[in-house]
Amino acid sequence: MSSLQEQLLKAGLVDQQKLARADQEKNRQSNLARKKHGKNSVQPGSSRQQEQNKKAQRNRELKQKRQHEAQRKGLAAQTKHLIDINKQDRAQGEHPYSFVYRGKVKKIYVSERQKTQLVGGQLAIATFVTNDGRKFELVPQAVAEKIIERDDTLVVDLGQPAKTDQDENDPYADYQVPDDLIW
């Protein structure tokens, strides 16, 4: 018994039967409430409901993050596949072609024909990461544009098409630039 009940009993305000009936009534009402709402019922605004809402929100965020990661990996696989099937053979490359990648000058060896195509804008340099490190490959300009649609950081050097109209006032138009100055 609680101390209040003992004090009331000593004071003579209640007797043992009234205390027993009060306990029974309290137990009966708690049982009815439990049956009415069920054992696992969740009252709106309760801490359990808040926990479930937080867990559901966290699950939605994780699912969205996984979907985003899967989409990113899918695009990376598509671009790598595009580069692999469309890359130009550089085995006969003996002429160096220099380009800037992330603030550093890089060099690849290409054939004379490939070099003129790079300068003319018909070929582009695309990059991708392999287990051995970063690789640079030559791809046609149309393929480079498809790669740019997926990820614009993978195309390193998209050559500019040759200009057909020259400046009429150019005093150096008659002079050719030597090959060793073109990089």
Angle, CA 180 vertex, CA 137 and CA 138 arms, to 5°: 10
Q: Is the pLDDT of residue 161 over 60?
A: no
Segment 47-99, tens digit of pLDDT: 888 999 999 999 999 999 999 999 988 888 888 888 888 888 888 878 888 88
Q: How confident is the model at residue 26 (pLDDT cuts 50, 70, 90)?
A: confident
Calculate the average pLDDT of the chain: 81
Closest CA to 128 of 95, 71, 87: 87
pLDDT of residue 56: 94
Residues 145 and 37: their CA atoms lie apart, in Å, by 63
Segment 107-122, tens digit of pLDDT: 888 888 888 888 888 8
Identify the DSSP state of 33: H
pLDDT above 90 covers a percentage of the chain that reads 11
What tokens appear for 16 in the block?
């043992």
**What's the whole-number mean pLDDT along residues 148-160?**
73
Total length of the chain: 183
pTM above 0.75, yes or no: no
Helix (H) or strand (E) holding 157: strand 155-158
Q: How confident is the model at residue 163 (pLDDT cuts 50, 70, 90)?
A: low
Instruction: Please indicate whether residue 9 or residue 166 has the higher confidence score (pLDDT).
Output: 9
- The type of residue at 93 is G
Q: Is the pLDDT of residue 162 over 60?
A: no
pLDDT of residue 159: 63
pLDDT of residue 67: 95
Residues 118 and 140: their CA atoms lie apart, in Å, by 9
